[in-house]
């Protein structure tokens, strides 16, 4: 993201959003976390 001209705060926010979406998906589906599935996207 830094190479695309994003600021440090934007990069941190993008990472937080990604983690929040993963956590929501785990809670919503009731399935355990699968790193292979998370990294595939």
Q: Using H for helix, E for strand and C for coil, what is the string for the chain? A: CHHHCCCHHHHHHHHHHHHHHHHHHHHHHCCCCCHHHHHHC
Q: Report the first-to-last Cα separation within the chain, whole angstroms.
A: 16
Give residue 23's domain range: 2-40
Q: Specify the pTM.
A: 0.73
Instruction: State the total domains in the chain.
Output: 1
Task: Return per-residue pLDDT of the chain as tens, 41 residues.
Answer: 899 999 999 999 999 999 999 999 999 999 999 988 888 76
């Amino acid at each position: 993201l830094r190479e695309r001209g994003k600021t440090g705060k934007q990069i941190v926010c993008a990472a937080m959003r990604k983690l929040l979406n993963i956590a929501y998906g785990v809670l919503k589906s009731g399935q355990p976390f699968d790193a292979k599935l998370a990294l595939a996207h």
